Amino acid sequence: MNINGMVSEIKRFAVHDGDGIRTTVFLKGCSLRCVWCHNPEGFIFSKQLAFFDEKCTGCGDCTEFCKALGIKKGKLQINTDKCKFCKKCEDACVNNSLKVYGKVYSPKELVDELLIDKEFFDNSGGGVTLSGGECLMQADFCAEVLKLLKQNGVNTAVDTCGCVPERSIAVVMPYTDKFLYDIKAMDEKVHIKCTGYSNKQIIENLNFLDLNNKYVEVRIPCVPDYNYNQMTKIAKFLEKLTCIRKVKLLPYHNLAGSKYKALGIKNTLPERVPTEKEMKKFEKIFSRWLEEN
C-alpha cells in the first residue's frame, strides 16, 4: 500500500510507553481536545513551526538561512506565510528556540529509521510504540508500519484514546502486541467537558478489543476538578472485561504551557495538580491491576 504518514516527533529511549527501552513515534492529528493535553503539537495534521521566545537571544543566526525570519529591535520576527517548514532555522538555532513539528514518511522510511534502535529493543525487551496525537487517525499508515516492524521481529504497541472508527482498531490489530488505551471518564457529560467529545466510540472500541482477546493496558489521567469522580466508575467498568492486563495511573502535570505559547494555541492546562494523598487513594481503587498479570 502506497501511503504516507505525518509524524510529529520520534522519541528514542522511552521507558514509559510500554515494556523495555522503546522508540515512541508521535503522529500528528487528534480526535480529542483534552483540556490537559501535554502534546498540543499533535492536534492538527499539518506541519507547524513553534517559537519558544523565552529561549531566543535575538542573535539572528537563523535569519541567514530563511527568508521567513528577520530581526526587529532585537526580537525575532516570523512571517508564517513564507515559512516552508524546511527546518533550516531549527538546525541553525543553538538555543533550541525554533522547532518544526511534522515530517512526512513512507512506512518503509519510518521503519528504516526505527530499526536503527533494534539492538536496544532486543537487549531490553523493548520495541516501538505508535502514539500521538491520535495515531489511529492515520490507521492505514500505522498498519503498514506495524506490519513491517513485526516482519523485522520488533515488539509493537499502539497508544490510543480509542476515539476512532472500529475499522481503525481492526486494521492494526494483527500487528499490535499491546494496546495502551486511554480512559478519561465513564459519564458522557464529564467526558465531553474533559475532551470536547463523547466517549461512546471509546467504550465500544474497548469492548471490541476485549472480544478479540487483545492485550490492553489502560491508562487513566488523574486531573483535579475534572475526572476525580470517575475513578470508581472506571474501575467497575474494567471489572467486566477480561482483556485488561494492567492499569497505569497518570498524575496530571502542567509543565507543557510553553508549547501552547510557542504554537500560538490557547493554553487550557488546569493549574492544580494531584497530591500524593489523592494518588494513593486512586491506587487503592485500581490496586488489582497496578501490577501486570
pLDDT tens, residue by residue, 250-260: 999 999 999 99
CA contacts within 13 A on the Cβ side of 235: 17
Count of alpha carbons within 13 angstroms of residue 169, beta-carbon side: 25
Overall average pLDDT of the 153-174 stretch: 98
**pLDDT: which is higher, 143 or 86:** 143
Q: Are 283 and 220 in contact (CB under 8 A)?
A: no
pLDDT at position 293 is: 46
Cell reading at 284: 487503592
| pLDDT band, residue 73 (cuts 50/70/90) | confident
Round to whole Å and give the CA distance between 131 and 133.
7
Share of the chain above pLDDT 90, in %: 92
Is 60 exceeded by the pLDDT of residue 4? yes
Q: 170: number of CA atoms within 13 Å, CB side?
A: 6
Which of 191, 180, 284 lies closest to 232, judged by CA? 284
Q: What percent of the chain has pLDDT over 70?
A: 98
Confidence band of 292 (pLDDT split at 50, 70, 90): low
Residue with cell 514509559: 16
β-strand partners of 131: 26
One-letter amino acid of 156: T
The string of DSSP letters for 17-78 reads: SSSSSEEEEEES--S---TT-S-GGGSSSS-EEEE-GGG-----GGGGT-TTEEEETTEEEE
Mean predicted lDDT score pLDDT of the chain? 95
Q: For position 1, what pLDDT does the model report?
A: 56
Q: 210 falls in which pLDDT band (50, 70, 90)?
A: very high
**Who contacts 185 (Cβ-Cβ below 8 Å, separation ≥6)?**
191, 194, 199, 227, 230, 233, 234
Three-state secondary structure along 192-209?
Answer: HHHHCCCCHHHHHHHHHH
